[in-house]
């Protein structure tokens, strides 16, 4: 739970199953796909920078799906659409709307009642969101952008550094991130809190 297993590195060829829904027919490798996705993600980040958002706007299914769509709409036909199959991680596909609604309601409660510090609230939200695994791909990157938006747009604090390195390649930064996520899976958030600001 909690791992974005779709983030691979290098020149691994994409198989036909991985290409389903791909809008750019010339993409042949994971590296090329990552480049196109990153360009689209950067456009989504630019969109967020020029806007203000309230908790009531951010913590809605419409916003969660809309942000994913903005991040991937130029690459994947299914961007912003809940996954239609079960994966080895995440909740059953039929439970996605219910689990997401519970998380969104919890987040609004946490804000209203000051349940957690801003960093912990954003990271608990990120962790549960990726654990639900709403989409066929991009859940890790989407949940990190959601956490960045929560911390910056709602709390007015700097975005997370996420270890200041690549999380998609097999690096020490990624290993430390996965270790922190596994600890959060077990209910211990201190490693993730430290990693997000390192």
Q: Would you state the pLDDT for residue 107?
A: 98
The answer to the question of residue 11 being in a domain is no
10-residue averages of pLDDT along the chain (198 residues): 41 76 91 94 94 96 98 97 94 98 98 98 98 96 97 97 85 93 97 97
| Domain span at 71 | 16-196
The single-letter DSSP state of residue 14 is P
Contact assessment for residue 36 and residue 24, using Cβ atoms and an 8 Å cutoff: yes
- Domain-embedded: residue 94: yes
* Domains in the chain, number: 1
Q: Is residue 127 part of a domain?
A: yes
What is the number of other CB atoms lying within 10 angstroms of the CB of residue 181? 21
Asked if residue 67 is part of any domain, the answer here is: yes
Instruction: Dig out the tokens for 158 from the structure.
Output: 């700097």
Q: What pLDDT score does 9 carry?
A: 46
All residues at 6 or more sequence positions from 11 whose CB lies less than 8 Å from its CB, including other chains: 29, 30, 31
| Three-state DSSP class for residue 29 | strand
The token duo for 173 is 């930064």
How far apart, in whole angstroms, are the C-alpha atoms of residue 141 and residue 46? 15
User: For position 65, which CATH number holds?
Assistant: 1.10.3290.10
């Amino acid at each position: 739970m909690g791992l974005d297993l779709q983030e691979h590195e290098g020149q691994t060829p994409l198989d036909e199953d991985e290409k389903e829904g791909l809008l750019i027919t010339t993409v042949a490798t994971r590296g090329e796909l990552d480049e196109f996705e990153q360009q689209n993600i950067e456009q989504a980040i630019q969109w967020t920078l020029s806007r203000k958002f309230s908790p009531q706007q951010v913590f809605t299914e419409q916003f969660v799906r809309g942000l994913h769509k903005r991040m991937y709409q130029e690459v994947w036909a299914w961007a912003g659409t809940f996954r239609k199959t079960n994966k080895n991680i995440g909740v059953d596909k039929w439970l996605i709307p219910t689990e997401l609604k519970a998380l969104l309601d919890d987040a609004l409660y946490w804000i209203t009642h000051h349940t957690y510090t801003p960093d912990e609230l954003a990271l608990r939200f990120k962790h549960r969101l990726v654990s639900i695994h709403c989409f066929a791909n991009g859940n890790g990157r989407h949940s990190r952008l959601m956490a960045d938006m929560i911390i910056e747009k709602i709390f007015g604090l700097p975005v997370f550094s996420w270890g200041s390195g690549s999380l998609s390649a097999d690096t020490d930064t990624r290993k430390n991130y996965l270790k922190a996520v596994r600890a959060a899976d077990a209910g211990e958030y201190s490693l993730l809190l430290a990693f997000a600001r390192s």
